[in-house]
Copies of this chain bind each other. A is one copy, B any other.
């Protein structure tokens, strides 16, 4: 696996932010960041661990958790609690929602502007974070299911 494209703007912005916060750009941290920037969509800590283990076998899970916590702390990453007892991490911190397919397990991004929701009812409240998620079956899985049906009957 080749490292995160250095031209990846999200990655480079993130490293800048780390510098700003006086957090060292250690190899391990950059690997975790890289993993979040690459194809992996909303990975769990364990998925990051498995993914990086081939490349960096000595990387510990504790370091992954430590890194994720610091990334969350400085606002470069946000956590998703869509499934019970499984925290997922999202490098995209801009306002958006999610769809979790209960068949294939994938988490899709959903473009939604959440900023304006519930303004009235929550006036007087200090809102730090907005999350919207849907659960169901994605298009692809629905099509597959129908295909299988046709074959079976």
Contact = CB atoms under 8 A, between A and B. Distances in A.
Interface of A: 79, 81-85, 87, 97, 99, 102, 110-112, 114, 117-118, 121-122, 124-139, 142
Given A110-B118, A131-B132, 19 more contacts: A81-B81, A85-B87, A97-B117, A97-B118, A110-B121, A114-B132, A122-B134, A124-B139, A125-B136, A125-B139, A125-B142, A127-B134, A127-B136, A128-B137, A129-B134, A130-B132, A130-B134, A131-B131, A131-B135
A135 B79 CA distance: 12
Contacts of A125: 99, 134, 136-139, 142
A142 to B, nearest CB: 6
Query: How many copies altogether?
Result: 2
A121 B87 CA distance: 25
Given A87-B84, A87-B85, A111-B121, A135 B129 contact: yes
